[in-house]
Amino acid sequence: MLRGDVIELRLVRESDLAALFELMSNLDTRGSYFPLGVMSEPTLRAEFSKNGFWNQEEGMLLLVTEDGEIVGEIEYFPIIHYLQGYEISYQLFGTQHAGKGYTTEAVNLLVGYLFGRKRVNRMQLNIHPENAASKRVAEKCGFTFEGIMRGCWFHQGRYHDLEVWSLLRDEAAT
């Protein structure tokens, strides 16, 4: 478990699965920029039973408030098989959780954990150019804008550009 000032990051528990399924399958809470794919409840449970959504190369943690409310999730996974580093993805489960510092703290906690325990030099965020909130998170966490991948992401019926933001090990706050 990773604790911050406003949230803690913790592994998914079996007792979380029913609530997590409801939160993750509600497309209305995902916002405009999170992928809209859904997973069936049996598939979610089967994936959880493999490794609890956590292994050496990828993982998911829940963002949990002091009072135990699950307000979002954050994941890490390899950028692509021939590059060294991890991409980080996150979502809040509803706009009522925005603007409270949850995502910024979650990214900082996960980056610190990964750089402290993994032999990687790079963390990466891929952000839709119109996603101002995620760009603020990237800036607050010390990520650098690198450029645009043109037309690389199919979402809501059309192709979109994505901005690439990165943080290298020697740039991370200690």
In the chain, % of residues over pLDDT 90? 79
Average pLDDT, the chain: 92
User: What domains can be seen in the chain, in order of their start residue?
Assistant: 2-171 (3.40.630.30)
- Per-residue HEC secondary structure of the chain comes to CEECCCCEEEECCHHHHHHHHHHHHCHHHCCCCCCCCCCCHHHHHHHHHHHCCECCCCEEEEEECCCCCEEEEEEEEECCCCCCCEEEEEEECCHHHCCCCHHHHHHHHHHHHHHHHCCCCEEEEEECCCCHHHHHHHHHCCCEEEEEEEEEEEECCEEEEEEEEEEEHHHCCC
So what's the pLDDT on residue 36?
60
pLDDT band at 68 (very low <50, low <70, confident <90, very high): very high
pLDDT band at 28 (very low <50, low <70, confident <90, very high): confident
pTM above 0.75, yes or no: yes
So what's the pLDDT on residue 11?
97
